[in-house]
Structure 1
Amino acid sequence: MTVLDTRALNRATLARQLLLEHADVPVLDAVAHLCGLQAQEPQEPFVGLWSRLRAFDPAVLSDLLIRRNVVRTHLMRRTVHLLAADDVLAWRARHDAMLRQRVLGTYRRELDGVDLDELAAAGRAVMADNEPRSMAELARALADRWPAPGPRALGEMLIAALIPMVQQPPRGLWRTRGGVRNVPLSSWLGREIDPPSPNGSDPVGEALVRRYLAAFGPAASADLRAWSGLAGLPAAVAAIREELVSFRDERGRELLDLPDAPRPDPDTPAPVRFLPAFDNALLGYHDRGRIIDDAHRNLSVAGARVVLVDGRVSATWTVEAGTVMVTPLRLFSRADRTAVAEQGQALASFLSDDDSDRVRIVTSAG
């Protein structure tokens, strides 16, 4: 079985994640290809797409949200993702059990004795008027009936697990501030969520495996589980295994992939890329060694914005007083510093409120 070293996996990941060269595809197609973008920080998906797409116009993504072609909702790993509407409808029922268990993992004591089906029915009754509500408002509407859990536990269970919701714009629009106002997913999209698969079959799980590998492969089953949060996909993998090809990584793990998916030459040059907080290029794996050193692994879950140099996390970046600040995690060569500064200047111009050249890039030796 062919062994793929770290650099080979890195280049495959960059290609699947549209980070090896800017893709010339519509924004909606990019969101769908990436299986959504993690989006608990509302403005971060704009940077993620700017880093991936040629001539990305943030107004296009805002318009897709307004037109309900994409939505913000809890899904993979119980985190807020920006997803294509069709994917949410197809995938939501497959995530129901995981979402419940993840909320219970945090609030099991508070929700002890609460009939979750009864709570869901009561929540749906409150939301039947389709009026947008905050999590606290929905919880307060049910607090008299369930006073013991407290509003946080009730709200988290209702919004993140029991009632499929979307976060209504202006939340998530470009350069727009807006609190979280939730509306039922089906009423927002005017379509019902696809029902669970009958007779123990799992076509949704099989489709998820294919879609994940297209955006993240080659990958191990543990990587798929880390991305999705779903524990029940081994049967789906087994069902389509004959469609897939297998490799080994340097640790001996089996990696699965789609046979015709891109696996570039490991020596393919990788351009500098600025990634937003919680980008799935990092979080979409259990073993993140293909893109980030173990010494810096915590950056990926701490919400740090990172810079890829030669395909690997090599710096962090922030914006302070209109300036993109880059802090290297290793010594940069002169060529690295120039490339980071040039790409950082382009990012600064994208983030700037005007067309002036007032935004500068500051790098400090790491």
Structure 2
Amino acid sequence: MTETLTLRAINRATLARQMLLAREETSVAESTARLCGLQAQEPKPPFLGLWTRIKGFQAEDLHTALDERKVARATMMRGTLHLMAAPDYLSLRSPLQPVLDAGLKVLGPRAKGLNVEQVLPVARGLLQESPRTFNEMRSLLQAEFPEVNERALGFAVRMCLPLVMVPTQDRWGFPRNAAFTLAETWLGEAPSPDSPSALDNLVVRYLAAFGPASAADAQAWSGLPALSGVLDRLRPRLRVFSDERGRELFDLPDAPRPDEATPAPARFLPEFDSLVLAHSDRRRVISDEHRPGLTTKNLRVRATFLWDGFAAGTWETERKRKTATLRLRPFAPLPRAALKELSAEAETLLAFTDPDAADLHVTTEPG
């Protein structure tokens, strides 16, 4: 008989994979691999995501890992930027290529005259000469393909060539218009060729970081359709559970699944954190009632805080002269004990984000 996992049991299992039950003593590269990447649409969130997970994390730790090419910022799942451990980028990007190819559909009429097979060799040659910003790439490609929309040219290169961003000494690792280079140039070898085992490995790595999970969950995280066939192929290697709604969930046999009564500390997640984006059914971390408030009208994913393991509100910071303020916006009134623990964690976070601030303030406002 299939074992049923409660919502809290699923929550605690996911938090354990995501290093959110306790900060852990580990390196940036090891934690990034364990998390199967961190969402990095903007430069700052990966620093905050690692701070909330790694014991004693300092911003310099990520700068060093980037400079030593142990991790890289690159286009990955769902066509979005992620911080990836270098070996994972090389092995996991290839099975995601169909998602990236399909992303070209968003160009619509702007894709008129675009021949990707002609553009990519030219782009590759330009990048072999030197890392390029996309402003530079678009200009150079427009000179070669004057009849094609320059935005379409740049987007095709971003989606269809294995590129990584070149880090700088900017505070959060990358300027707004960072340069890109070819992955094989920066990381030392080309991405692995596509194969069924590569796709199997992608799904296994997902379950290790975000399981127990359904086929629909894996599809939501990766952007790939029809992963149920992959999970059926892997079924002999996996544990199979059901949730309280009767959905079939897959997991690795030896993956951590703590008791649902395991305490979960207050934690702050940055904008776009993968924890709130990696499942089709996100009730394991945020209720259906509160989920609409997670995303803004312009599709930004708000920073959230966890209380008792679940998203209990959003937060934001403000800096005025020498004063740094963190504002909590709970979804619902919180117990005094929760506010006390969250405030203490928030002050520690402000000390990380604004080490030169003379005053740190935490406020609670209506959501």
Give the TM-score normalised by structure 1: 0.93
Q: Return the offset for 1:179.
A: 2.5
Shift of 1:52: 0.8
- Report the CA distance between 1:289 and its aligned residue: 0.9
1:236 paired to 2:233: no
Partner residue, 1:14: 15
Distance 1:353 1:335 in 2: 27
Aligned match of 1:264 in 232, 255, 258?
258
Runs of 5+ in structure 1 lacking a partner?
none
Structure 1 residue aligned with 2:287? 293
Q: How does 1:31-46 map to 2 (within 5 A)?
A: 31-46=32-47
In the alignment of these two chains, the number of paired residues is 358
- Superposed, 1:129-208 pairs within 5 Å as 129=129, 131-159=130-158, 161-170=159-168, 174=172, 177=175, 179-197=177-195, 202-208=196-202
Are the aligned partners of 2:167 and 2:174 in contact in 1 as well (CA < 8 Å)?
Answer: no
Aligned partners of 1:262 and 1:69: how far apart in 2?
26
Q: 2:314 aligns with which of 316, 328, 341?
A: 316
Contact 1:323 1:361 in 2 (8 A): yes
Alignment correspondent of 1:254: 248
CA deviations 1:105-133 (Å, max 9, x no partner) are 2114322443211111121122221x121
CA distance in 1, matches of 2:186, 2:330: 43
Distance 1:171 1:38 in 2: 20
> Structure 1 residues 174 and 295 mapped into 2: Cα distance closer, same or farther (>3 Å)?
same
SS in 2 for 1:147: coil
Contact 1:123–1:142 (Cα < 8 Å) also in 2:
yes
Amino acid at match of 2:84: L
User: Structure 1: which amino acid aligns with 2:343?
Assistant: A
Q: Which residue number in structure 1 is paired with residue 118 of structure 2?
A: 118
2:106 corresponds in structure 1 to 106
Query: Letter of the aligned partner of 2:106 in structure 1?
Result: T
Contact 1:136–1:152 (CA<8 Å) still a contact in 2? no
Distance across 2 between alignment mates of 1:206 and 1:180: 33
Tell me which moved more, 234-243 or 256-265: 234-243
Equivalent pair of 2:113/2:148 in contact (CA under 8 Å): no
- In 1, are the aligned partners of 2:43 and 2:174 still within 8 Å (CA)? no
Alignment CA distance shift 1:100-1:171 (3 Å): farther
| Structure 2 runs not aligned, ≥5 long | none
In structure 2, relative to structure 1, the CA distance for the partners of 1:117 and 1:59 (3 Å cut) is same
Give 1:172 shift: 7.1
SS of the equivalent of 1:251 reads coil
2-structure distance, mates of 1:344, 1:10: 22
* Identical pairs, percent: 39
In the alignment, does 2:78 pair up with 1:77?
yes
